Amino acid sequence: MDEDSATELAIFRFSIIASVVRGLAGKPANEYFQEAAAQSYLVPGLGIREFSPRTLRHWHTLFRKHGFDGLKPSRRTDRGKFRALSRDAKDFMVHRLSQCPTLSGTALYREVVNAQLDIEGPCSLSTVQRFLKTVPRPKDDADRKRFELRYANDCWQSDVMDGPYLKDKGAKKKAYLIGFIDDASRLVTHAEFSFAANSAALESVFRTAMSKRGVPKRVFVDNGKIFQARQLRLACARLGIGLRYAKAYSAPSKGKIERFWRTLRLQLLESIDTSTLTLDELNAELASYLENTYHRRPHGSLEGKNPMERWLEDQARFRLVDPLALSRAFLCEVRRRVSKDATISVCQNLFEVPSHLSGSQVRVHYDPQNLSRVFLQEAEGSSFMPVSRLRKVDNSTIPRGIKTEGQTGLSFAELFPADKTKEV
């Protein structure tokens, strides 16, 4: 508690015992404290509180011994000791900061948890962030200048934010927010909460953003694992999008989306009770906030314009993409050799291909989240051919061809005539 807050609390405590101190209570002190303790009080910084007669007598004693300063809350004797952090955790964080002075509190907290060094805790993110303030770090001499792209959709920034815990099938699960924001207009092209911060969730948000807002020229991200996934890099290359990475542990370089996370927490998440919401309900609240509030409110960096107005100024320059081309850009690609029975294996599932491709090598494009979308390319640049799952039972009823002249085959009717069958 800072000095101003401590003084306000001391003033409040004195206001309760002042009548006894000045001899104006008109009744014995114990009787006065009994009556005063029966009431509720609005305490500065703490809200509504009730106090016992013993507590009020203790305040009176403190004032008689130490005066007004005696009513200020005493500092904890273990202040600054960080009891939730083990010695190994503290040493680990100091060492990592010596290696990378720009390491953020969030990144360092995750490293501590992953290394299982919070054995005396469990420690929290706020504990780690408070500890970092006590560790001297060399000045960050990085050459940074505030920048802004000239046109909307020239560059999008993306990041992942830790979200609240939500209801899910009777349990509480942590949600994560993945979003994309346009650099020039500050318009959020799309953002969505999910229960996983993985590549599949990122691709889903990215595809939705492009289907709504067009294709950006480049995307600026950090060095997180999901942003370095091969599938994302491949999709960006297919769509002609430049994928740019920020310097490691350099959160300020992505200041626009970091600032939006702060705005979102203050204006939306702190104004609703997320503990009672489901994932779909929270995403509905987010979508309503973006379209009806954030995009319509003048932005301090846009000379009085709101993000939607600024974004629409450049709509003639936007590059739209065909939905089919967009969906195919995110398909996984593998090479397979067609077996002798004209099948290929994808994600441990067998698919049928034309018989003339038996023994040849083909390109296979598929959506790992939806194996009903599997396509074949006989050669690079050729058209996509949809293929379907193997149906062995159905194939048993399909004729395998007609016997041609000169061919012989087994006849079970000749091998087992009716009269011989009866003898058996």
**Alpha helices (H) in 196-297, listed in sequence order:** 199-213, 230-239, 255-267, 279-292
Q: For residue range 245-257, list pLDDT tens digits in order.
A: 987 766 666 788 9
Q: In what order do the strands lie in the sheet with 361-367?
A: 332-337, 361-367, 370-377, 385-386
pTM for this prediction? 0.59
Q: For residue range 389-400, list pLDDT tens digits in order.
A: 888 777 777 776
The confidence band for 407, taking pLDDT boundaries of 50, 70 and 90, is very low
The confidence band for 209, taking pLDDT boundaries of 50, 70 and 90, is very high
The confidence band for 78, taking pLDDT boundaries of 50, 70 and 90, is very low
Give the mean pLDDT of 66-90.
70
Residue owning tokens 């509190």: 105
Can you give the pLDDT at residue 192? 96
Q: Say yes or no to pLDDT of 410 above 50.
A: no
Cα–Cα distance between 289 and 272 in angstroms, integer? Answer: 12
DSSP label at residue 409? -
Q: For residue range 314-325, list pLDDT tens digits in order.
A: 999 999 988 888
DSSP characters over 72-113:
SPPPPTTTT--TTS-HHHHHHHHHHHHH-TT--HHHHHHHHH
Can you give the pLDDT at residue 320? 92
Q: Where are the domains of the chain?
A: 3-71, 87-132, 156-316, 331-395
**What is the signed CA dihedral for 184, 186, 189, 192, rounded to 10 degrees?**
150
Phi-psi region of 122 (alpha: psi -120 to 50; beta: other; left: phi over 0): beta
Average pLDDT, the chain: 83
Q: Which CATH architecture has domain 156-316?
A: 2-Layer Sandwich (3.30)
| One fold for 156-316 and 331-395 | no
Q: Which CATH architecture has domain 331-395?
A: Beta Barrel (2.40)
Can you give the pLDDT at residue 170? 80
Question: Residue 297's CB: how many other CB atoms inside 10 A?
Answer: 13
Residue 414: both structure tokens together? 């000749």
